[in-house]
Amino acid sequence: MSCQAGVIESSGWSRRRQLRGRTLGPRAKPARPHPSVFAPCAAAGCVLPSFWGSDPIDPLHATQYGSEHVHSMPRRSRVLAVVNQKGGVGKTTTAVNLAASFAASERATLLIDMDPQANASAAYGVRDVDRHVYDALIGECVMKDATLPTDLSHLHLVPAGTDLVGAEVELVSAPDRERRLERALADVRDLYDLTLIDCPPSLGLLTLNALTAADGVIIPLQCEYYALEGLARLLETMDLVRSGLNPDVSLEAIVLTMVDRRNNLARQVEAEVREHFGARVMDTRIPRNVRLSEAPSHGKPILLYDIHSKGSVAYLALAEEMLGRPGFAEDRLTPPPLVSEPPGPATPEGIDHDDTP
């Protein structure tokens, strides 16, 4: 099915209207008064994955997304890749602060930096370490040897380094190149309740490794006109991964980031995303908040930098919302002992209380 607003109109929307007519009676949705924000998708000639126009509350499609399968099979460890090939949409900010918020809820959490930019590592004050994720991917060390403690007792970090830039090229001819992360994680994944993987802004080999290793995908989405164009390609890639490398990977959550509710277009995009993806769009929105952009330069997640900021409150609420889902990280493991020391002390004195604009 090609990504045309008209196709979406005639399938998902009209079916949803019928369904609402059955279940909600007179509150059927009126015709949309505005041109669809999915239009850029069509203009770019994107091909949509099979479930794109599906009604998210249709139980059949819930299975197609994979979520029913995952939630009905509680497992101790859950690996979530934070993915969007569009740059600057809040992947790292979400991975860093959601991981910190899970850890604050006493879930043993592992954050893996799979981006050669190493922003998630820098956000925890980690730079220029001897061992990082690249060494684990190429088999130079086991994952545990590349794992560092952080200022949060329940959070460990596998940092990235500049070598990772070459990994995409070096691994191209390697056997099982898409399964390197999955293999490296095998020894440690069950030592944590949750593992989050921060992906680079591409759908290359590093992201493919993350999708192959993951149980679920979190997509941070900035509510702007072209946001959905990239989303179609990402969902296609997930479809491909599901049909071969990892049949179990599901769309865990879409997180709306840098939300400014005063912006009409943002509200329109949000409404359309919620219409199409239903319960997979988290209720919690991450607002645009300057404290979130300041925190990484202090080497701290937002809850250690300014716990009262809107950004911190939002990420804690997002973690709570995810943890409230049945079967999601219900255990509370104690993180495994590590030999390395945390990168630096996190003291309350370091917290800056400037006003949030």
Ligand X SMILES: Nc1ncnc2c1ncn2[C@@H]1O[C@H](COP(=O)(O)OP(=O)(O)OP(=O)(O)O)[C@@H](O)[C@H]1O
Q: How far is the CB of 267 from Mg ion (least distance, A)?
A: 26
Tell me whether residue 34 or residue 308 sits nearer to ligand X (CB atom): 308
258 binds, among Mg ion, ligand X, none (CB under 5 to 8 A by kind): ligand X
Q: Which of 214, 217, 212 is nearest to 253 (CA)?
A: 217
Q: Which stretch binds Mg ion (CB under 5 A): 3-11, 111-119, 121-129, 227-235?
A: 111-119
257 touches ligand X (CB under 6 A): yes
Tell me whether residue 119 or residue 284 sits nearer to Mg ion (CB atom): 119
- The one among 4, 92, 105, 109 contacting Mg ion by CB under 5 A: 92
CA angle 111, 113, 118 (to 5 degrees): 135
92 touches ligand X (CB under 6 A): yes
- The one among 234, 286, 303, 346 contacting ligand X by CB under 6 A: 286
Dist. CA 70–CA 214, nearest whole Å: 12
Q: How far is the CB of 144 from Mg ion (least distance, A)?
A: 24
How far CA 293 is from CA of 123, 152, 155, 322, in Å, comes to: 10, 20, 21, 23
Residue 184 burial by Cβ neighbours in a 10 Å radius (0-12, 13-18, 19+): buried
Tokens describing residue 57: 């509350």
Pick out residues in 98-117 that bind ligand X (CB under 6 A).
Answer: 115, 117
Intra-chain end-to-end CA distance of the chain, in Å: 45
Q: Order of strands, edge to edge, in the sheet holding 155-158?
A: 148-149, 155-158, 109-113, 194-198, 78-82, 216-222, 250-257
Tell me whether residue 77 or residue 92 sits nearer to Mg ion (CB atom): 92
Binding residues vs ligand X (CB under 6 A): 87-93, 115, 117, 119, 201, 257-258, 286, 288-289, 292-293, 311
Binding residues vs Mg ion (CB under 5 A): 91-92, 119
